[in-house]
Amino acid sequence: MTSTLRPAAPEDYDAIAAVVDDWWGRPIGFVLPRLFLDHFHRTSLVAQGPSGMTGFLIGFLSPSLSDEAYIHFVGVHPGERKSGLARTMYERFFDLAREDGRRVVRAITAPVNETSIAFHRRMGFEVTGPVPGYNGTGTTSVTFTRPL
């Protein structure tokens, strides 16, 4: 299936929220509140195929760190995994970040998400962690950093 990338819109939130837990196989939607599509839709992407949404990337250009961009959440329809769609969305986001003068892209994941860790390594990210307390007491995260 061929997907077309387009900028996200605030109106995409409901469609993303409707599939995210199913795509992950566990409750995860709580880490993607509506505010990300309301405030960062211009730097986020939606992939559309003939039958509907096939993926999305929620990312933003840091308003505080002028040389950094951040990928907050990425989803690919289970039927589209291993198709190169995630790589294509990341590469499009890298281009967007470079065009704005950003030199680094960051992301995080849970240590149990071995698929994400392996994907980020393949995409050229430096992987650090697990980092205890990254998001507060009792949390542990793996961090990703990729120079552009």
Rounded CA gap, 141 and 34, in Å? 23
Question: What is the reported pLDDT for 26?
Answer: 87
Q: Say if residue 92 is exposed, middle or buried (CB neighbours under 10 Å; 0-12, 13-18, 19+).
A: middle
Question: What is the reported pLDDT for 29?
Answer: 86
Question: What is the reported pLDDT for 14?
Answer: 96
Rounded CA gap, 125 and 146, in Å? 4
Question: What is the reported pLDDT for 85?
Answer: 96
| Beta-bridge mates of residue 104 | 68, 147
Torsion of the alpha carbons at 73, 29, 133 and 126, rounded to the nearest 10 = -20
Question: What is the reported pLDDT for 137?
Answer: 95
Nearest by Cα to 139 from 116, 107, 108: 108
Question: What is the reported pLDDT for 42?
Answer: 96
Q: Is the pTM of this model over 0.75?
A: yes
Question: What is the reported pLDDT for 133?
Answer: 93
Residues of the chain with pLDDT under 50: none
Rounded CA gap, 35 and 44, in Å? 12
